[in-house]
Amino acid sequence: MAKKIIITIDGWSSCGKSTLARQLAKSLNYVYIDSGAMYRAITLYFLRNHTDWTDEKEVTEALSNIHLHFEYNNKSSQSEIYLNDENVEYVIRDLVIAEKVSEVAAIAAVRAFAVAQQQKMGAKKGIVMDGRDIGTTVFPGAELKIFMTADISVRVTRRYKEMYAKNPNISIEEVKNNLEMRDYIDSNREVSPLRKADDAIVIDNTNLTTDEQLKQALKLVHEAVPNL
């Protein structure tokens, strides 16, 4: 049987991490896990249940009532996240969630909860996971670590197009402010801040098409594991 590896993709918000992760998983027949979806689903639960996330006890209590899992959807050809058995894959993409998720993801108990589950999902390898701390904290021993980056203006335009399709009232300033705020909180928090792992390889996709970025990444996969 072919050797299976763990591939981690970290980087700034809206750098195209999930697009590349999905492409790689499809090409290699691997599982793709969007770790950000877990932090978004937890944020959704906190907002719906009026959890005061500045209160440690409330956070612990709320986390004990949260069950997250991913299920592959044949129609969308992707794995989708479930919060206590409800498919929340689409609701969690709202700006309301994007505005709070970095605050929630900075809480140590929330991270411990999510990281433990992410590590279990990678136990059998054959996985591509994207996020902010996957190569540094979740899978520090991963065989291939990619760190993605792109110019802020390109990132804002990409995210704006995505969000505008769902909500034409959204402004480009709102999207830009949200990206900059999340990048700031994600890279300055105390627990597992976003940073490039020393052994991660940078892909800057500012001027790359999705096909070109996949080609580059597949080359890295074959360099990392020549007889894959």
- Contact residues: ligand DC, CB under 6 A: 13, 35-36, 39-40, 101-102, 105, 131-134, 182, 186
- How far is 226 from 228, CA to CA, in rounded Å? 6
Q: What is the SS3 assignment for 137?
A: helix
Cβ distance to ligand DC smaller for residue 28 or 106: 106
Burial of 3 (0-12, 13-18, 19+ CB in 10 A): exposed
For residue 215, the minimal CB distance to ligand DC (Å) is 23
Cβ distance to ligand DC smaller for residue 132 or 145: 132
**Tokens standing for 36?**
């950000």
Q: What is the SS3 assignment for 67?
A: coil
Cβ distance to ligand DC smaller for residue 28 or 138: 138
For residue 222, the minimal CB distance to ligand DC (Å) is 26
Cβ distance to ligand DC smaller for residue 23 or 35: 35
Can you name the residues that pair with 6 across neighbouring β-strands? 127
For residue 102, the minimal CB distance to ligand DC (Å) is 4
DSSP string, 178-207: HHHHHHHHHHH-SSS-----TT-EEEE-TT
Check if the beta carbon of residue 83 is closer than 8 Å to that of residue 41.
Answer: yes
Cβ distance to ligand DC smaller for residue 155 or 221: 155
For residue 36, the minimal CB distance to ligand DC (Å) is 3
Q: Which amino acid is at 20?
A: L
Q: Which amino acid is at 180?
A: E
For residue 98, the minimal CB distance to ligand DC (Å) is 7
**Tokens standing for 80?**
């989708």
Alpha carbon of 99 to those of 125, 142, 180, 198: distances in Å? Answer: 33, 31, 11, 30
User: What's the CA angle centered on 89, arms 85 and 147, to 5 degrees?
Assistant: 125
For residue 65, the minimal CB distance to ligand DC (Å) is 20
Cβ distance to ligand DC smaller for residue 141 or 226: 141
